[in-house]
Chain A
């Protein structure tokens, strides 16, 4: 009983640490200003852009990251630990540094642009790229842990029942790992939405919500930055609460 009380107290402290600044910010905005901000074209555009760009990044990661996660979970090969370390790098390095690294590969003077003539800088694709880079480890690591947790004998059983290895993967391993993969996807999407450092280096325009908040804060001060922030928080809270409920129902 004493342990429960102690843990409850510690948990409450942590929740307060997160909630108080947010609450403080929310109450600082009067509803009229918030409503006005919510219909501002620039704000709506940037919030939608943020949600969309991060969604593209996440969907691409499903396509590329799940096979990689599966290989890392199931295979043992020389250099596997190095690859796992490399995947974690985007989480470790400062995100402005990540932005600069990306700029060198995808920027105006990069080989990519010189060869293809396409410049991604300042496009929605660049924003997705930056978001993908910094948030993909969340999806890969969740999927990898989920695949590791699934006994390989489930796949062997499926194969013994006539399934090809591909069919065993799609009909057994993938559905069994689905919950963790979706959870990782939600986390990745969320992490992409909040990204600032890498995005601002690669694509200041079009402005994502985080860049817009930064710009309003720089040019007009706190009073103009807070309503956009609160709006983003409210939208994110609603979207992610719905997603978590859907996830639990599964």
Chain B
């Protein structure tokens, strides 16, 4: 188990604030956060490459770990085989031993045909496979990934994510993976530590983090588009003339967030148990690949995600007048 106890670090104007967390042996742990949140700094402290100002990191001191960066950090003066075998050459293994291990590892990762190539002429996906092979050949107990797929195109990213899944499933290493991509976190992680502005604000399963973000900032980072603030009285928050029913009864300053796919669009008012129902006019209809984002003015601007099929069937277009409905439980309330 890797344990971080009150880890603090000040770096110029930035501060990592007293981080406490535990990563279990064999766990796929994601540190999720936007750029500049301190993810990489935290990872480098876990790796022992940067010293914390205070606190302790236990459980990784004498552990062999493989560190993989977003931009691969392949040594440009060495070819693919030399890069992969670098760690073994440091251990002064024999040439034969290194060659055999390099061949086996490169075959596992489908890069055997690249062994004698210069690392400077590889594609992003190939480079990342070489970087993984270079770490994997040492059979580390812990992998530390720093945004390993951020520089890759979508299809390569999915391939590399599958590779990570396979690696974790077959070898069961502990993985600490830093990313800003929530989809990646959801696809890979057993657990997520949400890091915002140097502060670990939530530590939970990916599903729970997404369903119940701990703060307004977390909700915004996780892609909640409908975030509002106001005062709650008698389970109702008043925002620009409309009143939304909440589960919280009283609060002088509260933020609410509603997931855009928790809102139902309909042509007629739905008689249901959902307490929030408003009539509005469609302002914009935006194609977002697999779904359609509808922006609707119902006194406040609401973002609603629907399928392309629903959009076609209902004939949603700018100017359409529609009802929006959502349950009280869909309204997340944050007091900070």
Contact = CB atoms under 8 A, between A and B. Distances in A.
Interface of A: 151, 153-154, 156-163, 167, 171-172, 175-176, 178
B62 interface: no
B76 interface: yes
A161 B44 contact: no
Given A156-B44, A156-B73, 8 more contacts: A153-B71, A153-B73, A156-B67, A158-B86, A162-B64, A162-B90, A175-B75, A176-B77
Nearest to B69: A153
A163 B91 CA distance: 8
Contacts of A172: 75
Contacts of A175: 75, 77
B271 interface: no
Contacts, number: 49
B66 interface: yes
Nearest to B67: A160
A176 B119 CA distance: 14
Nearest to B40: A153
A151 B73 CA distance: 8
Contact of B47 (A154, A158, A160, A176): A160
Nearest to B137: A161
A161 B87 contact: yes
A165 to B, nearest CB: 11
A172 B90 CA distance: 12
B138 A176 contact: no
10 contacts: A151-B71, A157-B73, A159-B49, A160-B65, A160-B67, A162-B64, A162-B87, A162-B138, A176-B75, A176-B76
Interface string B83-116: 0001100110000000000000000000000000
A49 to B, nearest CB: 36
Contacts of A171: 86, 90
A159 B65 CA distance: 10
Between A157, A163, A175, A176, the greatest number of chain B beta carbons within 10 A of the residue's beta carbon is seen for A157
A160 B90 contact: no
Interface in B23-69: 44, 47, 49, 64-67, 69
Contacts of B90: 158, 161-163, 167, 171
Contact of A162 (B47, B71, B91): B91
Contact of A161 (B69, B135, B144): B135
A156 B49 contact: yes
Contacts of B9: none
In the A-B complex, the 9 residue pairs with the closest CB atoms = A160-B67, A161-B87, A157-B73, A175-B77, A162-B90, A156-B49, A163-B90, A153-B73, A162-B87
Contacts of A158: 75, 86, 90
A206 to B, nearest CB: 41
B180 interface: no
Contacts of B47: 156, 160
B134 interface: yes
A163 B67 CA distance: 13
Contacts of B134: 161
A75 B71 CA distance: 23
B44 to A, nearest CB: 7
Contacts of B71: 151, 153
A157 to B, nearest CB: 4
A153 B144 CA distance: 13
Nearest to A153: B73
A154 B71 CA distance: 10
Interface string B129-154: 00000110010000010000000000
